[in-house]
Structures are given as C-alpha cells and as structure tokens.
C-alpha cells in the first residue's frame, strides 16, 4: 500500500534578499498579499490538499511567523470587548488552522539543507515541500494535483511549468519524457535528469521546477550524500538527481497560475490579480485601475 502524505515542510529561513529593504527586519514569508501573509496562502493550500501537519523551517528573525499562527490573546480580548465578531473569527481561524511544528535552520546553506532540518519531524514517511514565494492560484490546489500523482505511483513528484528561455536559469530544470496517465492527461512526465539553475544554452528543456514537491523519505539520505552545488548551497534539485539513481521521479505540469511573490514585479502582479478577485475589494479596485492613465 502507498503510504499517505500527512506532513508538509515549509522552508522559511531564507534571507529574502530579492525583496530588500522590506525584508531587512521582516521575513519575506510575512509580506502581505492583499491582507494575508505569503506563507498563509501556502499553509491554506496544504490544508485544502488534505495535509494537516505543517513543519516550518525557520531561522533568526523569523519569530513573527510563529506569532502569526499562534493565539493572539490581546487582539482577541480587544475584538471581543468591542463585539467585532467577524474580525475575531478571522484572527482565531489563523491560530486554529492546523498543527504546526517549528525547527530551525541555523545557517542558510540552501534549500536541500533546509529540508534536511525537518528530517526528525518528518520521520520515515513521504512528505510535501511548499516554497511560499511561489503563490499558486488554481481550481484544484497545486499540491493536491501532485498528491494525486503520488497516490497513484507512490514516487516523488515535482511541480513543473514551462518558462521562457531567458528566465530558465533562475530555476531547477528537468529533462523529462511525457507519459500518459489516466487522470493526468498530457501533463505528466517521467524525469530523466535535473539541473539546478543551468545557463540558458545548457538547459535540458523549458520545464522548470516550481516550489511544490512530494518527496519520499529516501530524499534525506540523498541530501546527506550530495556536495554543495549552485551558489555553494546544498540544492534540493541535486538531491533529487541523486535519488533518481535508485527511484523514479515524476513531474506534473500543474494547472493554475503561479506568481513569484518573492520577486518585486511578481509580487505586484500577484497583488493586482488577487485584489481583483476579491469579492469585497475587486469591484472598487477594478474601477480605480480603469481610471489610471497607463
């Protein structure tokens, strides 16, 4: 029987240098998209995908993430004394959302290293990894789409997206062969090779890895076996390449829109589009945008 995925790991110890100066004293995971911090979108995606146990890998200066998902006693007191029931519910729903565990990455030594810090909390079972910079708007949550593939094959699955050649070197890139799949249409691939941040002319394809993974626990041994790669960091992509020697890995070109919210332009695009979709703000926001002279 294929074991169920019950846990999701959220690496959140990165320094967020792409978003300075906002991220000088504030975690990039707490940047608000309309009115929710980025990491909450990822946590909600995991919950809507059926995962209840969230493991956040934090680092120095990240305590506001823990505070955000904790009970806010003073805030709740104030809102209930003023009879602000709807806001009270919003605040309480965040702390009641899910089971959270935290572990620390003492040094920012790469995504592979961040995932490795969760080894003890994950244990010998499959798990998901969610990079909260990658905000994905989809009918069926992106992680659920990957879990459907995992539930069928019992092997690791990464989210894939086609990316223009001039941007490909910002990503992990796969060499992959399309395979047919009952539920997956033409979106499923079997991975043949992976390269972290290749030069555009050396990229094996235009299929980039996006920040959603379902991994089998053997990945921890692979992370422990590899050497630092791109940027001198322990890369998850390199660990997947190591895992590929002994296990199959699948890629799934997910359905949905992805925003790189860790990048200033990507964040602005996400803000506009999420704002327009909000039933409470979308109407007046659209009217405002229409009046702008562009």
Residue 172 found at the interface with ligand G1P (CB under 6 A):
yes
Neighbours of 69 (CB within 10 A): 20
For ligand G1P, the closer of residues 91 and 172 by Cβ is 172
For ligand G1P, the closer of residues 38 and 208 by Cβ is 208
Q: Which stretch binds ligand G1P (CB under 6 A): 60-68, 145-153, 205-213, 273-281?
A: 205-213
**CA separation for the pair 16, 27 (Å, rounded):** 7
Q: Which of 171, 220, 259, 267 binds ligand G1P (CB under 6 A)?
A: 171
Query: Given phi > 0 = left and psi -120 to 50 = alpha, else beta, which region is 119?
Result: alpha
Residue 238 found at the interface with ligand G1P (CB under 6 A):
no
Total residues contacting ligand G1P by CB under 6 A comes to: 13
Residue 207 in contact with residue 219, Cβ under 8 Å?
no
**CA separation for the pair 125, 3 (Å, rounded):** 7
Shortest distance (Å) from residue 203 CB to ligand G1P: 12
Site string for ligand G1P, 77-116 (x = CB under 6 A): ----------------------------------x-----
For ligand G1P, the closer of residues 111 and 243 by Cβ is 111
For ligand G1P, the closer of residues 15 and 88 by Cβ is 15
For ligand G1P, the closer of residues 216 and 238 by Cβ is 238
Residue 202 in contact with residue 75, Cβ under 8 Å?
no
Shortest distance (Å) from residue 38 CB to ligand G1P: 13
For ligand G1P, the closer of residues 38 and 91 by Cβ is 38
Torsion of CA 39, 169, 216, 29, to 10 degrees: -10
Q: Which stretch binds ligand G1P (CB under 6 A): 55-63, 138-146, 207-215, 265-273?
A: 207-215
Q: Which of 196, 216, 243, 254 binds ligand G1P (CB under 6 A)?
A: 196
**CA separation for the pair 21, 242 (Å, rounded):** 37
Q: Which of 59, 184, 211, 229 binds ligand G1P (CB under 6 A)?
A: 211
Residue nearest to ligand G1P (CB): 172
> What are the residues binding ligand G1P (CB under 6 A)?
111, 131, 134, 171-172, 196, 208-211, 235-237
């Amino acid at each position: 029987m294929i074991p169920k995925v019950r846990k999701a790991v959220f690496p959140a110890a990165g320094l967020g240098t792409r978003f300075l100066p906002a991220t000088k004293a504030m975690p990039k995971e707490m940047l608000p998209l309309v009115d929710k911090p980025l990491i909450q979108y990822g946590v909600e995606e995991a919950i809507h995908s059926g995962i209840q146990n969230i493991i956040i890998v934090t680092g120095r200066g990240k305590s506001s993430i823990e505070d955000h998902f904790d009970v806010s006693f003073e805030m709740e007191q104030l809102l209930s004394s003023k009879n602000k029931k709807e806001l009270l519910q919003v605040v309480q729903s965040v702390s009641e959302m899910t089971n959270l565990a935290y572990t620390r990455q003492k040094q920012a030594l790469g995504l592979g290293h961040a995932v490795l810090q969760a080894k003890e909390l994950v244990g010998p079972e499959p798990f998901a990894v969610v990079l909260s910079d990658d905000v994905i708007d989809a009918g069926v949550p992106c992680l659920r789409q990957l879990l459907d593939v995992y539930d069928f094959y019992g092997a690791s699955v990464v989210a894939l997206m086609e990316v223009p050649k001039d941007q490909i070197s910002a990503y992990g890139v796969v060499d992959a062969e399309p395979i047919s799949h009952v539920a997956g249409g033409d979106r499923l691939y079997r991975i043949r090779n992976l390269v972290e941040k290749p030069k555009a002319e050396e990229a094996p394809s235009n299929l980039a890895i996006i920040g959603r993974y379902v991994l089998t626990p053997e990945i921890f041994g692979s992370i422990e076996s590899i050497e630092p790669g791109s940027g001198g960091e322990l890369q998850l992509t390199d660990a997947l390449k190591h895992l590929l020697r002994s296990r199959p890995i699948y890629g799934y070109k997910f359905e949905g829109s992805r925003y790189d919210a860790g990048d200033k332009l990507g964040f602005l695009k996400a803000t506009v589009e999420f704002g327009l979709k909000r039933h409470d703000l979308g109407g007046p926001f659209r009217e405002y945008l229409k009046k702008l002279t562009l």
